[in-house]
Amino acid sequence: MAALNELNGFKPSWLKWHILVAVGTPIVIGIGYWYVLKRNKQIGSKDTKKEEKIKENTIHRPTVEKDFSTEVKVSSPLERAQELKNSGNKLYLAKMYDDAIRCYTEAIEMCPKEEKDTLSTYYQNRAAAYEQKNILEDVIKDCTSALEYNPRYTKALQRRAKAAERNGNLEQSLQDVTAVCILENFTNNSSLITADKILKQLGRQHAKEQMLKQKLVTPSKHFVKSYLSSFSNNPLLPLNKSHINGHVNTEIPLRYEIKLLILGC
């Protein structure tokens, strides 16, 4: 009976513990689940931000993969023109002037128009080839084109001056060689000698042209009379008498005696 009473007294405590376990376990599990879920969200948020940042960096700095096996080098028009000019130079040195002119012409057509110094060189090179073929008009024309792109190109000025001199245009030649002397600050003796030579040739040419333009004019009777009357009388002979060849001539004025004696009359 006493044992039964003890069991009866213990039963309420056991029930309380059972109830506490039954109620507390879901709560603990729920709290744990909530904590784990929150933790996963925080980690996921950090990973998402990290991925977005990596993606953003990837967008701003894209990587380009090159296929070097299929890459083909394409020359620019200027590079192609330079190659043609170099070929023309080789042909010029080989004295193949027609082929050199063809290469220079293609280089001029290929070269961009904004490359003024380069185009000036191409025109001057072609003028040199024309000079070897003695085509003076084309030499002058190409040198003029070269100077349009580079007005201070002394080599083109010298070549045009030489061609103009050979072509008979001394005035153009003198202008060009004078420009060369100015650009060289009058320090090149060769240019100075050339300028002096052309200046003398031009002076002789102008003098000859001027002489050809003048007409021969015979003096008038009045001029002859005035000229003869300018001589004074001979003070050594009697007035109105002149001894010429042993004869007395009273008809000849005394002022003509000296001239007649000189002439042997």
pLDDT tier for residue 209 given thresholds of 50, 70 and 90: confident
d(CA 16, CA 14) in angstroms, rounded, equals: 5
Q: Which residues pair with 198 in a beta bridge?
A: none
Task: Name the phi and psi angles at 243, rounded to 5.
Answer: -95, 105
Percentage above 70 pLDDT, the chain: 59
Q: Give residue 101's pLDDT.
A: 97
The residue behind tokens 């042909």 is: 91
Is pLDDT of 19 > 70?
Answer: no
The H or E element spanning position 246 is: none
* DSSP output for 213-234: HPPP-PPPHHHHHHHHHTSPP-
Percentage above 90 pLDDT, the chain: 49
In the chain, what are the domains?
A: 77-213 (1.25.40.10)
* DSSP output for 21-47: HHHHHHHHHHHHHHHHHHHHHHHHHHH
Tokens for 21?
Answer: 């376990």
Q: Give residue 10's pLDDT.
A: 47
Range in 2-6, 39-43, 72-76, 132-136 the model is least confident about: 2-6
d(CA 241, CA 257) in angstroms, rounded, equals: 9
With a threshold of 0.85, does the pTM exceed it? no
Nearest to 147 by CA among 116, 184, 174: 116
- The string over 85-122, giving b where at least 16 C-beta atoms fall within 10 Å of a residue's C-beta and e elsewhere, is bebbbebbeeeebeebbbbbebbbebbeeebeebbbbb
- The per-residue pLDDT for range 65-119, each reduced to its tens digit, is 444 444 456 689 999 999 999 999 999 999 999 999 999 999 999 999 999 999 9
Is pLDDT of 1 > 60?
Answer: no
Contact partners, residue 144, CB within 8 Å, separation at least 6: 160
Question: Would you say the C-alpha torsion 190, 195, 201, 204 has a positive or negative sign?
Answer: negative
d(CA 52, CA 238) in angstroms, rounded, equals: 141
Is pLDDT of 31 > 80?
Answer: no
Is pLDDT of 196 > 60?
Answer: yes
Q: Give residue 204's pLDDT.
A: 92
